[in-house]
Structure 1
Amino acid sequence: MATALVASPLGAQSAPSARIPPAENAPIAYLLDASSGQILYARDIDRRFMPASITKVMTTFLAFEWMEEGRLFPQQVYGVRPDTFRKWHRKGSTMFLPADARVTVDDLLHGVTTVSANDGAVVLAEGAAGSVEDWVAAMNAKARDIGMADSHFGNPNGWMDDGKTFVTARDLGTLAQTMVTRHPTKYRHFVGAKGLKYNGIEQRNHDPIIGVVPGADGIKTGYTNQAGFGFLGSAQRDGRRLVMVVAGSPGGRERNAASRQFIEWGFQHFDSRVLFTNGARIASARVQQGGAGEVGLTAAGPVRISVPKGTDPEVSLALRYEGPLQAPIAKGEEVAELIVSIEGMPDHRVPLVASEEVLEATLLQRVFNAMRSWVA
């Protein structure tokens, strides 16, 4: 059985300095306010790179999705195939699965998220999907489904595969934001432990911000000779979550320093404000052939924005949808987007959903609507 070691408080460690990492230490740098969807900083975020073990975040997310769908359960037990043991025993980062191991999904996922277990990722893939190939196909399908438009996965653990696996920082931000938003309970359970004890061996998590940056809770480092040093990280303070990507760093020390400085810069240099509270009616959209002529629009949660600290920039809002919308419309169906423009910052988009159901109009309602349009 694996034992996850809980991250310790910040304690007496000194807080990291706050600054944007220089390009020589982080050629790729991306900071996203996951609470608002805003991009706070971007450097070469659409450039493809090899993610190395950051690939395991996609494996983790797919496992979360399958758990939610009832296709995978934490207490399911898988064995280690002889060929898998021969290939992955002590290869790179590992949780030291024995050849005769009977290991739960819960333990495998803790191994993947905490000590970057290459063996654990493969055993999980084979057990859950039947083969690595079928698991990888599901990874890629899920990546497309959540909008990772410029990424591809060739294996479940990020081992070098001659460039078949590649991502962009923008796509990793999408992955992290989606994982935390859809699966907050699973995220808290599986991500962010400071170490793992399994098979009598205790290993520590190499995450550079947990226990150093207040509120930090993950997510995943990556390194291979081909990929260099990278990190996908996240932290939450006062209800605001930031996600960051640093990639292409020349060494582990440079990556770790850049990661700590960068996310601290995000918290120190931006204020978070609420534009609309949870459940607030933000706007309405016209509906055609419906029992009602319009439908209310709301966001999935509070609509927040980040603005540079000490400033009061002009904020403008615009509604966009392809309309009039066609009935029937289900409550909660995504039908529009709110475009938030903040002076001096990139625009960002907030998905809007129908706040109520709109059924197709009856014959009598259609006649009434036609008469009303003639009068108007």
Structure 2
Amino acid sequence: MSSFALFPVAAQEEQALTPPDAELAPIAYLFDVTSGQILFEREADRRFMPASITKVMTTFLAFEWMEEGKILPQQSFTIRPEIWKKWNNVGSTMFLPHDARVSVDDLVHGVTTVSANDGAAALADGAAGSVEEWVAAMNAKAAEIGMRDSHFGTPNGWMDDGHTFVTARDLTTLATQMLRRHPTKYRHYVGHTEFTYNNITQPNHDPISGVVPGADGIKTGFTNQAGYGFLGSAERNGRRLVMVVAASPRARDRNRAARDLIEWGFSAFDQQRLFAPDVPVAFAEVQGGASSDVALVSPHGIFVDIPAGGHRDVKLTVHYDGPLRAPIRKGEKVARLVVSIDGMSDYTIPLAARDEVPEAGFGRRILNGMLGWIS
């Protein structure tokens, strides 16, 4: 384990670390994807019904399957009669005809932009062979990316007696993975102000896109049981924030809370880059390798958010179970960096091996043995 401290970051006048209108959203969470920091949280691990925010997992799974070649944007599905009968004009819809043959691209746009319940069900059934198989894949993917306290019972979030539930922390994990793994697909499908299908144009009810500078999604949700919620994101000057507000009693409360929270996140903190992507943060000792150490890097760089106007000490501590044993793959996550900022919660960033370290050959093993004996 090693550690080192950085100089305090100074500014003029420190702001309060509580966003305005916080009471309008009983559940609230603000996360800086760029730095990995939690900027604000309230009831972050409280389970709640996400309603149509469920469709973000359907969208993410569609992105994953596109990437794997399981489905293609230009591919078309014929809507089965039982799917059409169950979801025709149920809640938000893209008005799929009973005999529609519709592309994956249109279905995903319908899901992300107009919250199409029929589109989500048609996508699930067409891609996986049944809605049940798709939902099982949703839950498997949620577990894979670390959504530890969420479960999905439908592809669209329609009321299902509480079988579908999430937490704000888990939704932020989902959004972060979507943004990092699929930035091109995210830009193509998320954040549009309207969508036209079958000559019917409908607006997106996203409360921040087109209103908050840099905002580009992601998804609203509402049922009488769930109240009003929103999973949103915005980017300014290379800095990406993700936020959740949920359980608001009125749409205007949710919308105001969402806008105020994301604006506060950009204004209340100053961000500094400490290390560029793939620049060594530290070196870890390696045993039995062609090299005696390996550089530890963050593929996304190391950033810190400091409350605007304050003096805060920043301490970085590298942890790994060492010495590491060869072979080590390039990009393998082998250590973690704990960032401690005075007066704020610690957070952890995974560190990866910058280079491959193969096992040592015979001559290198002899040299390593001699060096170890000398030391």
What is the TM-score of this pair, normalised by structure 2? 0.94
Residues 214-259 of structure 1 show CA distances to partners (whole Å, capped at 9, x for unaligned) of 1100000000111111000001111101110000100111101111
Q: CA deviation at 1:199?
A: 1.0
Residues 71-119 of structure 1 show CA distances to partners (whole Å, capped at 9, x for unaligned) of 1211010010000000000000000000111111110000000000001
Q: CA deviation at 1:22?
A: 4.0
List gaps (5 residues or longer) in structure 2: 1-16
Question: What is the aligned partner in structure 1 of residue 319 from structure 2?
Answer: 320
Question: What is the aligned partner in structure 1 of residue 293 from structure 2?
Answer: 294
Question: Which whole-Å CA distance do the structure 2 matches of 1:314 and 1:25 have between them?
Answer: 33
Does structure 1 retain, via aligned residues, the 8 Å contact 2:218–2:231? yes
Letter in structure 1 aligned against 2:157: G
Tell me which moved more, 30-39 or 319-328: 319-328
Question: Which whole-Å CA distance do the structure 2 matches of 1:301 and 1:355 have between them?
Answer: 13
Letter in structure 1 aligned against 2:213: P
Letter in structure 2 aligned against 1:70: G
Question: What is the aligned partner in structure 2 of residue 165 from structure 1?
Answer: 164
* Correspondence list, 1:118-157, <5 A: 118-157=117-156
List gaps (5 residues or longer) in structure 1: 1-17
Give the match's secondary structure for 1:336.
Answer: strand
Question: Which whole-Å CA distance do the structure 2 matches of 1:369 and 1:350 have between them?
Answer: 31
Residues 20-53 of structure 1 show CA distances to partners (whole Å, capped at 9, x for unaligned) of 2545421001000111110000101010101000
Question: Which whole-Å CA distance do the structure 1 matches of 2:125 and 2:283 have between them?
Answer: 48
Question: What is the aligned partner in structure 2 of residue 373 from structure 1?
Answer: 372
Does structure 2 retain, via aligned residues, the 8 Å contact 1:19–1:261? no
Does structure 2 retain, via aligned residues, the 8 Å contact 1:122–1:157? yes
Question: What is the aligned partner in structure 2 of residue 197 from structure 1?
Answer: 196
Letter in structure 2 aligned against 1:88: W
Does structure 2 retain, via aligned residues, the 8 Å contact 1:290–1:327? yes
Question: Which whole-Å CA distance do the structure 2 matches of 1:239 and 1:200 have between them?
Answer: 37
Question: Which whole-Å CA distance do the structure 2 matches of 1:240 and 1:154 have between them?
Answer: 34
Identity of aligned residues (%): 64
Does structure 1 retain, via aligned residues, the 8 Å contact 2:284–2:295? yes
Residues 156-178 of structure 1 show CA distances to partners (whole Å, capped at 9, x for unaligned) of 10011111111100011111111
Tell me which moved more, 72-81 or 320-329: 320-329
Q: CA deviation at 1:301?
A: 1.9
Letter in structure 2 aligned against 1:297: L
Letter in structure 2 aligned against 1:358: V
Letter in structure 1 aligned against 2:61: L
Question: Which whole-Å CA distance do the structure 1 matches of 2:329 and 2:23 have between them?
Answer: 50
* Correspondence list, 1:357-372, <5 A: 357-372=356-371
Does structure 1 retain, via aligned residues, the 8 Å contact 2:227–2:247? yes
Tell me which moved more, 300-309 or 93-102: 300-309
Give the match's secondary structure for 2:174.
Answer: helix
